[in-house]
Amino acid sequence: MTAFKKIEDHLRKEAKNLLEGGKVTLVLAYARGFDEKHPVPCVVKAAADADHLVFNEYCTYNMARYLTRYPVGTKIAVAVKGADSRAVVQLIQEGKVRRDDLVILGIPATGMKNQKTGEVIDAKTTASTINPVLYDVLLGDEIHGVKAGSPYDVLAEFEGMDKDARWAFWKKEFERCIRCYACRKACPMCYCDPCFMDASRPRWADKSPTDDGTLMYHLTRFYHLAGRCIDCGECSRACPVDIPLHLFHKKVAKECEAMFGQAAGMNIEDKPAMANFKGEDSDQMLG
């Protein structure tokens, strides 16, 4: 069981020290929202405000999402759970943030809960990545001995469908899409500026919410995240109409891992799978 209170105390203490010592100018973590079950992502800039930080089972946000907002060179401490730390690694690999600019506050956590339903989300998202893959300070103790399956276990049902059934499945899911773009905006790896969906010359997809445009949007996003999705599940949690976007991302991640022998954001020494060429890379995609 994760010692949430202990982690919270440690987080506050660490944030205070880092800000007081001038090691960082801001700390990205969590604060209380309109009630305890609804925390909010927050940035603390003054040591005196460190006591506002919280950590509980509803702090599902991937704070790495906010890193690319700040100019390179900004000294930032960021609180990250298992999958979130993979986003930091991936962002470093992609040259969007610098390792030297960061103090990574790692949080080993199990039992994180969906704010809407109270359901434990571990198996759906981070799965076996319980401990942060990269950190400078560990808040709490590493968790070992938890029986966590493969992150791809949840794909079983989806993979059991034939092509037509999969097509029907996604068409039905996308019917609900309202194009609020919460999925791309919540995603730590979606930092394109402008996003292809916002480009008007040329316009790659209908701006109005047509079925074709919605399909274009999601499929392009799914493939643009190939070898980059770090499996935090923020897209599905952000979706106001509960489209299980993480399933598609997981499927693509699984294929990528099989073809290129690496999962996104697991090792800082890796190069991004899609930006690297190795002699032994799979030729499968060439037929």
Rounded to an integer, what distance in angstroms lies between the CA atom of residue 271 and that of residue 181?
28
- Residues 59-88 contacting another protein, CB under 8 A: 61, 65
Distance, CA of 268 to chain centre: 16
Residues 148-187, one symbol each (x = binds another protein by CB under 8 A, - = not), give: ----------------------------x-xxxxx-xxx-
Among 81, 228, 237, 250, binds another protein (CB under 8 A): 237
Asked if 247 is part of the footprint of another protein (rule: CB under 8 A), the reply reads: no
Which among 72-80, 89-97, 207-215, 262-270 is the span making contact with another protein, rule CB under 8 A?
A: 207-215
Rounded to an integer, what distance in angstroms lies between the CA atom of residue 130 and that of residue 155?
19
Rounded to an integer, what distance in angstroms lies between the CA atom of residue 147 and that of residue 159?
23
Which among 30-38, 252-260, 264-272, 279-287 is the span making contact with another protein, rule CB under 8 A?
A: 30-38
Rounded to an integer, what distance in angstroms lies between the CA atom of residue 60 and that of residue 112?
7
Q: How far is the CB of 198 from another protein (least distance, A)?
A: 5
Interface with another protein (CB under 8 A), residue total: 36
Among 5, 23, 38, 271, binds another protein (CB under 8 A): 38
Q: Where are the alpha helices (DSSP H) in the chain?
A: 4-20, 82-93, 156-159, 163-175, 182-186, 211-224, 234-238, 245-260
Rounded to an integer, what distance in angstroms lies between the CA atom of residue 276 and that of residue 241?
36
Q: How far is the CB of 7 from another protein (least distance, A)?
A: 20
Q: What is residue 113's DSSP assignment? A: B
Distance, CA of 215 to chain centre: 22
Pick the closer one to another protein by CB: 38 or 99.
Answer: 38
Asked if 118 is part of the footprint of another protein (rule: CB under 8 A), the reply reads: no
Pick the closer one to another protein by CB: 27 or 133.
Answer: 27
Distance, CA of 149 to chain centre: 19
Residues that bind another protein (CB under 8 A): 33-35, 38-43, 61, 65, 115, 176, 178-182, 184-186, 193-194, 198, 200, 206-210, 234, 237-238, 240-242
